[in-house]
Amino acid sequence: MARVELRGVSKSFAAAEVIHAVDLDVAHGEFVVFVGPSGCGKSTLLRLIAGLEDVTSGDLFIDGARVNDALPSQRGIAMVFQSYALYPHMTVYENMAFGLQLAKARRETIDQRVREAARILQIEHLLDRKPKALSGGQRQRVAIGRAITREPKVFLFDEPLSNLDAALRVQTRLEIARLKDRLGATMIYVTHDQVEAMTLADRIVVLQAGRVEQVGSPLELYGRPRNLFVAGFIGSPR
């Protein structure tokens, strides 16, 4: 579990600032959802937290430690992307084991964690398959399983369900909700799907053009949106 804190975090690409002095606290074990229109900076914020991009100014803390200069592998974070990014030549088992092998975990530890993650996600019967022999939903579960095996303190999800068809989206969303209860890890989840946001979030962060527009529980945002922009995203007319 981890507390994630952003203090005045800004990010520029070349001359253009795309994230403007964002302040945010995510509590231990909290499930926070980022919503906002395409291009508002949701993925960039996740990438800053993960260490895949450097912040231009401001500070980033995980469990109280400043991580601005920490490598992604030092941050205790795992990220699940919209595209599954599995290694095509490896089996499901090998895909899930790979990160742990890189980290030089013991073989028994790797085996135990891969099998436990496979059990949680109900993909035990797929461990010997290659990614091309899986459905989209199964691939995304493998990608989530790969994140679980590393036992991160923080999970980051970037629109993990948007490549799935409607039925699979519902099923995988329920699985992520179960995961939240089971792992008790801190989770930050990007989506543009209102139902996902309302059903998964402890708190929703509404972003617009690189700024935080409003933060609150689903009920607070639904009942008291600060403006029409938030209302438009959360779905209640004022």
Q: Look at residue 235 and give the partner it binds from ligand ADP, Mg ion, none, a contact being a CB closer than 5 to 8 Å depending on partner kind.
A: none
Cα within 13 Å of Cα(229), Cβ side = 14
- The structure tokens listed for 145 are 């399983």
Q: Look at residue 39 and give the partner it binds from Mg ion, ligand ADP, none, a contact being a CB closer than 5 to 8 Å depending on partner kind.
A: ligand ADP
- Binding map of ligand ADP across residues 200-219, x = CB under 6 A, - = no contact: --------------------
Minimum distance from CB of 43 to Mg ion (Å)? Answer: 3
- Of the pair 44, 140, the CB lying nearest ligand ADP is at 44
> How big is the site for Mg ion, counted in residues (CB under 5 A)?
1
- Binding map of ligand ADP across residues 13-52, x = CB under 6 A, - = no contact: x----x-----------------x-xxxxxxx--------
- Of 43-51, 52-60, 67-75, 102-110: span binding Mg ion (CB under 5 A): 43-51
- Of the pair 20, 226, the CB lying nearest ligand ADP is at 20
- Of the pair 43, 172, the CB lying nearest ligand ADP is at 43
Torsion of CA 185, 187, 193, 194, to 10 degrees: 80
- Of the pair 49, 221, the CB lying nearest ligand ADP is at 49
* Phi, psi angle pair for 203, to nearest 5°: -140, 150
Query: Does 43 contact Mg ion by CB under 5 A?
Result: yes
- Of the pair 32, 134, the CB lying nearest Mg ion is at 32
Q: Are 56 and 8 in contact (CB under 8 A)?
A: no
Residues that bind ligand ADP (CB under 6 A): 13, 18, 36, 38-44
